Amino acid sequence: MTLTRQQEIMLAILAYSFCSGTLVLLNKLTLHFLPFPSLVVSFQLFACIVIIYSMQAFGYVDVDSIQWSNVKPYMLYIFFFATGVYCNMRSLSTSNVETVIVFRALSPSIVAFLDALCLGREWPSQRSWLGLLTLVMGAYGYASFDEKFQTQGMSAYFWPVCYTVVIALEMAYGKQIVKSVPLKTKSGPVIYTNLLGIVPMLLLANVGNEYSKFWDFYWSGSTSTRLPPMSIFLLIIGSLVGTGIGYSSWWCREMVSATSFTLIGVINKCLTILLNVLIWDQHAKPGGIFCLFVCIAGGMIYQQAPMRSDRKVIETGITADDEEFESEIHPNVHSKDDEEMQDLLADKNTRKRG
């Protein structure tokens, strides 16, 4: 069964959204049993590599070979990724989750500028700017219902600002990698990002003093409670879903613009928060829940900007109905000049026979 491009885009978005939301919930449960975020992510990255190479050994997938020419651009992407994780950790330590959500909602607007300036996209339309503005207003409205957000000073916003800028650079550069790095398989980007991402995550675990904390955690309990069976089960399921998000995220990034991909991530976050409120009964205020729906509405209003080259083709009036254009792209379609030339040659041959 062959999918149309529109169907493939929708499938990529749904796959990425499902894996993203599921992994957030799984990681929240996992951290309840194992409160070591960097170590948990490191385990998931390593498990993803094992899963992919195991599938390759059994002939289920093809994997690009590791080449230094491809490693170099991915190293810069991993730098943005690790820096974003660190800024997010510092943001949560100096402010609250609501503040981070507001600043995260600003990232699609920044990426829209980078899309137009660096990635060949047109500037967003008025409707798209309205959608992005609606998203920011909804996120701010959600955060404003939290008392901690209202009482924080300006010093709490330094790391959220850094986090937003780094995330925007990561999203734009990730799209540039998809366009410029010649990998032949869907597994290639997943392998490169996971292989290169393990070392920074282990370093972040050291920054967070997670090794000594895990050591104390492991030896503090009895033999039967050191690693609860549920934590092992959640690590395994999280690793499988993490592998899925590795594939689906790069697939989705390939299908849509950098701004659209960033926007999808923010909307997924809002949906996850809404689901989180409903499942864990955190007694969110009705106004806050309404603002989450405003964020989702902003995402629905947004329309992806076309490539600049596509707009030029439209503006010049060249379409598939133009007979001159059709004669160039279809050998069986001829323009009027071609037909006149054929008539002259036919007349000439008739005279020769006469």
Where does the pLDDT of residue 335 fall: very low under 50, low under 70, confident under 90, or very high at 90 and above?
Answer: very low
pLDDT given for residue 332 in this prediction: 45
Q: Lowest mean pLDDT of 55-69, 77-91, 134-148, 331-345, name the range.
A: 331-345
CB atoms within 10 A of CB 4: 8
pLDDT 10s digits, 77-93: 999 999 988 888 787 77
pLDDT given for residue 244 in this prediction: 95
3-state SS assignment for residue 145: coil
User: Distance between CA atoms of 139 and 130, rounded to whole angstroms?
Assistant: 14
pLDDT 10s digits, 36-66: 999 999 999 999 999 999 999 999 999 999 9
Q: 97-118 and 68-94 are packed helices; what angle lies between their axes, rounded to 10 degrees?
A: 150
Q: Lowest mean pLDDT of 40-44, 119-123, 160-164, 350-354, name the range.
A: 350-354
Q: Is 309 left (phi over 0), alpha (psi -120 to 50) or beta?
A: alpha
Q: What value does the mean pLDDT take over residues 331-340?
A: 45
pLDDT given for residue 139 in this prediction: 84
Residue 317 has pLDDT above 70, yes or no: no
Residue 271 has pLDDT above 50, yes or no: yes
**24/119: higher pLDDT:** 119
pLDDT given for residue 1 in this prediction: 66
Where does the pLDDT of residue 273 fall: very low under 50, low under 70, confident under 90, or very high at 90 and above?
Answer: confident
Threshold 0.75, pTM exceeds: yes
Residue 26 has pLDDT above 90, yes or no: no
| DSSP string computed for 194-254 | HHHHHHHHHHHHHHTTHHHHHHHHHHHS-GGGSS-HHHHHHHHHHHHHHHHHHHHHHHHHH
pLDDT 10s digits, 178-220: 989 989 999 999 999 999 999 999 999 998 899 998 988 887 7
Do 63 and 189 form a contact (C-beta atoms < 8 A)?
no
pLDDT given for residue 90 in this prediction: 80
Q: What value does the mean pLDDT take over residues 285-306?
A: 84
pLDDT given for residue 191 in this prediction: 95
Q: What value does the mean pLDDT take over residues 325-330?
A: 39
**139/80: higher pLDDT:** 80
Where does the pLDDT of residue 221 fall: very low under 50, low under 70, confident under 90, or very high at 90 and above?
Answer: low
**Residue labelled with tokens 């980078």:** 114
